[in-house]
Amino acid sequence: MATSTPSILSSDLFGGRLTIDLDAIAANWTFLNGKLSGAAECAAAIKGDGYGTGQDKAGPALYAAGCKTFFTAVPAEAVALRELLPDAVIYVLDGLFPGAAEFFPHHDLRPVLASVEELKDWSALCKSAGRSFKAAVHVDTGINRLGLPPGDLSAALGDPDLCGPFTPSLIISHLACGSTPAHEMNQRQLKLFREVTEPFSHIPRSLANSAGVLMGPEFHFDLVRPGIALYGGQAIDTEPNPMKPVAKVEARIMLVRDVAEGDTIGYGAKQTARRPLKNAVVAAGYADGMLRRAGSTDERPGGFAMIGGFKAPILGRISMDMITLDVTDVPDHLVQRGAFVEMLGPSVAAAELAAYAETIDYEYLTSLGRRFERVYAPLT
C-alpha cells in the first residue's frame, strides 16, 4: 500500500545536526561592545553567511542586541541583509565590481572603495546623480590585499575629481597579524594608519577586527568590526578564548563494529589498529564541512569527537560521508546505533579541531552543515 510523502523532512532523515545559539552570538557582540573606549561603535562582520551561522538569523539577532552597522563581503550578501534590516548601515568590503555602482544607492549600501579606479567610478555616479552617496575608503597599511597605498590616500582624498563629489563616511584598514598581538606588524600598522589618516580625523576611522578589539583602546578608533569572535571563534591565538561557543555539530552513529589488532581502517589503509578496537561509524564527512585534513594516520594523530564526556579519536581518513571513531573506551550505552556524538561545539572547540586540520576555525565555521538538520536553540 502506498504511503504519503511527508511535506517536511523528519529529523530522522539527517545524518547530523547543526545547532546554532543566537543568544550566544548576541552575547558575544555585547561583550565586545563593552570592551570599547570612548564613543567607538561596535559593528559586525557578517560575511560568509554569518560565518556559517546563517545571515538571515544572525543579522536580526545582532541588530536586536544593539548592532547597527554591518560588513558583508559581496553585494549579493548585502542586498539580502538589507531586506532583513531596512535601517542598518551596510558596507560591502569587496568594493565596486565593474558596472555595479548604481546597484549600491538603489539598495542603500556603501561600498568600501579600494583603488583609484573604484573612486573614479563612484565619483562619476555621484556626479551623474547630483548626489553625494556614502562610501568608505580602504587604505592598505601592510597586508597587501585591497586598499590604496598609504602615500596615495592624501592625494586621492584631496583630488576634486576623485572625492569632490562625495565625502567618505569611513576610512578603514585591516590588521595582518592581529591573532598574534606581540607581532611587530600590529604596532607598525597602527602607527602607519594613525599617521596617514590624522589629516582626515574628521572622517570616522576603523582598524580593529576581532583581535583588534581585544588588543585594547589604541586600536579602536571610531568603529570596530569584529567577525570571528562574534561566532565563538578564537581571535587571539596566544590567549584563552573569552567568547561563548555558538555552534554545535552532532553526527549520528550508523553502526558500531569490532576491529582486530593489525587491521587497517579507512581509505588508503593509513591507520592500523594497535590493539583490538571498537569503532563507531558516524554520518558526517568532508561534504558536511568536517575537513579531510583532520583525519588520522599511523604517523599523525587526527582530531576527535566527544561522547557523553568521553573522548573518541578519529581513526583513519575522513571520507565524504562518514568518519570512523575509536569508541573502545566509551561505555556501550553511549554508542548505540542512532545516537549522536559531538564533532564540534562546547566540548570540541573549533580552533582545537582546526589545529588538527592545519587550518583555522574560520574555515570550519563557514563550511559546516551543508546536509545537516539546522536548529536554532541554546547549546546544551
Can you say which residues are annotated as belonging to the binding site for substrate? 145, 320
Question: Pick from 348, 354, 378: which is nearest to 249 by CA?
Answer: 348
Alpha helices in 198-279 (DSSP H): 210-215
Q: 159 vs 165, 196, 317, CA distance in Å?
A: 10, 16, 57
Instruction: Give me the active site residues, please.
Output: 47, 267
| N-term to C-term CA, the chain | 41
DSSP letters of 275-310? S-EEEEEES--GGGT--GGG---SSS---EEEETTE
| Contact indicator for 225, 71 with CB cutoff of 8 Å | yes
Sorted by sequence, the CB contacts under 8 Å of residue 81 that are 6+ apart come out as 46, 55, 59, 70, 72, 88, 90
| Contact indicator for 43, 67 with CB cutoff of 8 Å | yes
- Three-state DSSP at 270 gives coil
| Contact indicator for 353, 344 with CB cutoff of 8 Å | yes
Beginning with the edge strand found earlier in the chain, give each strand of the sheet holding 89-92 in spatial order. Answer: 44-45, 69-72, 89-92, 110-113, 136-138, 170-172, 205-206
Question: Pick from 338, 327, 361: which is nearest to 251 by CA?
Answer: 338
List the beta bridge partners of residue 315: 324
- Three-state DSSP at 156 gives helix
Annotated binding site: 145, 320
DSSP letters of 51-68? HTT-HHHHHHHHHHHT--
